Amino acid sequence: MRIDIITVVPELLEGPFSASIMKRAADKGIAEVHLHNLRDYSSDNYNSVDDYAFGGGAGMVMSIGPIDRCIKTLKEERKYDEVIYMSPDGHQLDQALSNQLSLKENLIILAGHYKGVDERVREHLVTMEISIGDYVLSGGELAAAVLADSVIRLLPGVLNDETSALTDSFQDGLLAPPVYTRPAEYNGWEVPEILRSGNLKGIEQWRHDQSVERTKKKRPDLYKKYSSD
């Protein structure tokens, strides 16, 4: 998989992809992330990528020209499955969407900045808009990193344990069950007996029941959806 991220401040994105699972994915040749500085596609001597909004108002708006030129340049090199704009009013990111995007080959992610982008970018250049939550960030870079991470970790071969991603929270519409490790007793706090029993069928049932109860208690919205399916 290849992900191209268009940004005004690429420095913000260098860290998230240079360590841990994201670096492992790149080292294995499973996924590659390329950062594109939007200022490289500016048409003036000041490398500007924003301008005042028609009709007035506070804040600057990302101009359509540099964004269009960057996307066109990328599309001349390969076919992209989606051109995604990180937007507070986009489809809220969930596990189902990450699963869906993990099946794609090439993605472009546009990280918004300032007061947003010229609306014509959203009308004519973008194929999907995604939000990571109902709050405001200083820019779309961190949101783009969250999206890329949630997708790349699902690719076969990225995680050491191939079944790990399949047991994550939300994969089956439920929160993950409690997990424990050694020692079996600490300060009088014991690991549930069922997990030490070796009864694989019983352990599987216990984990499912715990997932259901945890979701019901902590995320009633998810539980309602799960129980109605």
Structure tokens at 64: 């359509």
2-152, what's its fold? Alpha/beta knot (3.40.1280)
pLDDT in tens, 78-100: 999 999 999 989 999 999 999 99
**CATH 1.10.1270.20 residue ranges in the chain?**
169-228
Q: What confidence score (pLDDT) does residue 172 get?
A: 80
Residue 144: CB atoms within 10 A of its CB come to 28
At 189, list the tokens: 């706090």
For residue 114, the model assigns a pLDDT of 87
The rounded distance, in Å, linking the Cα atoms of 37 and 71 is 12
Which pair of structure tokens corresponds to residue 125? 């250049």
CATH (residue range 169-228): 1.10.1270.20
Which regions of the chain carry the CATH code 3.40.1280.10?
A: 2-152
pLDDT confidence of residue 155? 95
Beta strands at 189-190 and 60-62: parallel, antiparallel or unpaired? unpaired
- Residues lower than pLDDT 50 in the chain: none
